[in-house]
Copies of this chain bind each other. A is one copy, B any other.
């Protein structure tokens, strides 16, 4: 393997060479801000996944280093994110009960399987598969996930127990338990929630009034949630809220995670495999779209197939170091970017920062109320909920609207995996359906040009003995029969037709099924004394057709342009009229 190839697989070789003191300073500053922001977020997402809080911290350490070595985005920040945490909870919740040892083992295994799958996809260069998640599907499932996550955390704010496989079961369960609401917990959770909402938009202007620059105020405001954690933890300690029914995080082991192989003998791996696939794909799509957006702002590029390898390495690292499935997160990456991170070294410094927190900060977590973490999650995920896609897609195209609604509703009713699967299926099925009943237009010459357009939309010149038909789709098995029927209908409806010219500007492929249909159209028209011609057949299509029996037996011609075709037929007809004795009659 030469150096260029090696650099493609190890992007760190490219950026490490250009590293200097200025870049170091930028990266260190970004790392500091991201670390402060990540601590509450990592703890919260671990809670969302049903895992002990330190696992959130562990998942924000080694994976960042691994991504830094293999990933192609300069500013993506990898770690636990909301949707993947939700999916993790749902996947491992099926095979173990939260809080048990096997639940944690399953999380490690899930991260490992997910990492191996991503790595495999990357090596096989299957990154293009993510393109099959359309924008409506992504928008639908993100909004639905936001709703599910927000409601799933409500129980922590209310201090009650509630659970449900889907949104409606969850709502029902919340409603049932409403009588057992712990008012002390609400007294902690509700103000925190309000404070955190205010922090999102209200803290920055206040900081700016103290003389901070716009940027500095924006950065500092991102660390606001830490204030909530400190205040509520201190309140819990001072007022002994634990004895009043407020659920606290409790004792958290101090120190760095121990390295260990995930237990592959775990019987659950078959059951987890499908979930690992879903988590990988969803995580990959989220990560790539964030990476793409940020890279474009600095005129950089990311390489989707190498991103698969980077994220795969990050997940495997997570599974070896006590974490759980991770991916590139939107919020953390934007903060990293805005804080001025230049290279993935910022992520590595962040890992060190989180490591320090794991070593020195965890004792203080004992008094942290879970309600505070729940409030952090709710505020974070409600920014994901965006119903504007419904209006936008409704106004644009029914098929996009159906894809959004399918994904949204099925995700709410049956969960993220089923929702995304149904969304992808629906969008593909709608696309295939549309191509199976293609638009076709009878065209005529736009006067004064060589351009041919739909006779129903433009004033055009036509000839009574020529049917000029533009087929607006590739010819393939799903539409070949439909197109055949339509051609016969048009020929039957227009007496006097002697020539049919199929204008192939939109025909990007003719498959074997369609070829056989073309053969039968040619024969049937020939029987009726009608010649079949093709025009404007593209190079790649003509390459394939050139060797076929169809072209050999085609009753008419293949014309370079539709205009040339019509002209040559009109000229030939006129010549025939002029000579009183047709040549074949002699």
Q: How many interface residues does A have (CB within 8 Å)?
A: 66
Spell out A's residues near B (CB within 8 Å). 128, 131-136, 296, 392-393, 395-397, 399-400, 427-428, 431-432, 434-439, 441, 446, 449-451, 453-454, 457, 472-474, 476-482, 505-509, 511-513, 515-516, 520, 524, 536, 538-540, 544, 547-548, 560-561, 563-564
Contacts of A393 in B (CB 8 A): 512
In the docked arrangement, what's the CA distance between A392 and B512, Å? 9
Contact of A136 among B472, B513, B538 (CB under 8 A): B513
A432-B436 CB under 8 A given contacts A135-B516, A515-B396? no
In the docked arrangement, what's the CA distance between A74 and B417, Å? 49
Chosen A-B contacts, 23 in total, with CB atoms closer than 8 Å, are A128-B436, A131-B436, A131-B482, A132-B477, A133-B477, A134-B477, A135-B477, A135-B512, A135-B516, A136-B477, A392-B512, A397-B512, A431-B476, A431-B511, A435-B508, A439-B540, A441-B539, A446-B560, A449-B563, A451-B536, A473-B508, A505-B505, A506-B506
In the docked arrangement, what's the CA distance between A257 and B548, Å? 52
In the docked arrangement, what's the CA distance between A506 and B224, Å? 52
B561 close to A449 (CB less than 8 A): yes
In the docked arrangement, what's the CA distance between A561 and B453, Å? 10
Chain B residue at minimal CB-CB distance from A488: B301
Chain B residue at minimal CB-CB distance from A389: B512
Contacts of A132 in B (CB 8 A): 432, 436, 477-478
Q: How far is the CB of A527 from chain B (nearest CB, A)?
A: 10
Contacts of A457 in B (CB 8 A): 539
Contacts of A399 in B (CB 8 A): 511
Contacts of A396 in B (CB 8 A): 512, 515, 544, 548
In the docked arrangement, what's the CA distance between A454 and B478, Å? 28
B450 close to A449 (CB less than 8 A): yes
In the docked arrangement, what's the CA distance between A363 and B472, Å? 62
A438-B508 CB under 8 A given contacts A449-B563, A539-B457? yes
Contacts of A540 in B (CB 8 A): 439, 472
In the docked arrangement, what's the CA distance between A509 and B133, Å? 17
A131 close to B481 (CB less than 8 A): yes
In the docked arrangement, what's the CA distance between A393 and B520, Å? 18
Contacts of A449 in B (CB 8 A): 450, 561, 563-564
In the docked arrangement, what's the CA distance between A446 and B395, Å? 40
A508-B564 CB under 8 A given contacts A131-B481, A544-B397? no
Chain B residue at minimal CB-CB distance from A128: B436
Q: How far is the CB of A426 from chain B (nearest CB, A)?
A: 12
A439 close to B478 (CB less than 8 A): no
Q: How far is the CB of A448 from chain B (nearest CB, A)?
A: 10
Contact of A434 among B454, B509, B538, B547 (CB under 8 A): B509
In the docked arrangement, what's the CA distance between A132 and B477, Å? 7
Q: How far is the CB of A359 from chain B (nearest CB, A)?
A: 42
Q: How far is the CB of A511 from chain B (nearest CB, A)?
A: 6
In the docked arrangement, what's the CA distance between A337 and B480, Å? 26
In the docked arrangement, what's the CA distance between A129 and B285, Å? 31
Contacts of A395 in B (CB 8 A): 547
Contact of A512 among B296, B400, B516, B520 (CB under 8 A): B400
Q: How far is the CB of A435 from chain B (nearest CB, A)?
A: 8
In the docked arrangement, what's the CA distance between A434 and B439, Å? 20
In the docked arrangement, what's the CA distance between A399 and B393, Å? 34
Contacts of A427 in B (CB 8 A): 477
Contacts of A474 in B (CB 8 A): 435, 473
In the docked arrangement, what's the CA distance between A296 and B488, Å? 11
In the docked arrangement, what's the CA distance between A399 and B540, Å? 15
In the docked arrangement, what's the CA distance between A435 and B432, Å? 11
Q: How far is the CB of A305 from chain B (nearest CB, A)?
A: 13
Q: How far is the CB of A459 from chain B (nearest CB, A)?
A: 12
B136 close to A512 (CB less than 8 A): yes
Chain B residue at minimal CB-CB distance from A439: B540
B511 close to A134 (CB less than 8 A): yes
B134 close to A446 (CB less than 8 A): no
Contacts of A135 in B (CB 8 A): 477, 512-513, 516
A505 close to B508 (CB less than 8 A): no
Contacts of A516 in B (CB 8 A): 135
Q: How far is the CB of A394 from chain B (nearest CB, A)?
A: 10
A563-B450 CB under 8 A given contacts A511-B134, A512-B393? yes
Contacts of A563 in B (CB 8 A): 449-451
- With A134-B511, A505-B536 known, 20 other A-B pairs at CB within 8 A are A131-B480, A131-B482, A134-B512, A135-B516, A136-B477, A136-B513, A396-B512, A400-B512, A428-B432, A431-B476, A431-B478, A441-B538, A441-B539, A446-B561, A451-B560, A451-B563, A472-B508, A472-B538, A472-B540, A505-B505
A128 close to B437 (CB less than 8 A): yes
Chain B residue at minimal CB-CB distance from A438: B508
Contacts of A478 in B (CB 8 A): 131-132, 134, 431
In the docked arrangement, what's the CA distance between A474 and B438, Å? 12
Q: How far is the CB of A441 from chain B (nearest CB, A)?
A: 7
Contacts of A432 in B (CB 8 A): 132, 428, 432
B296 close to A524 (CB less than 8 A): yes
B131 close to A477 (CB less than 8 A): yes
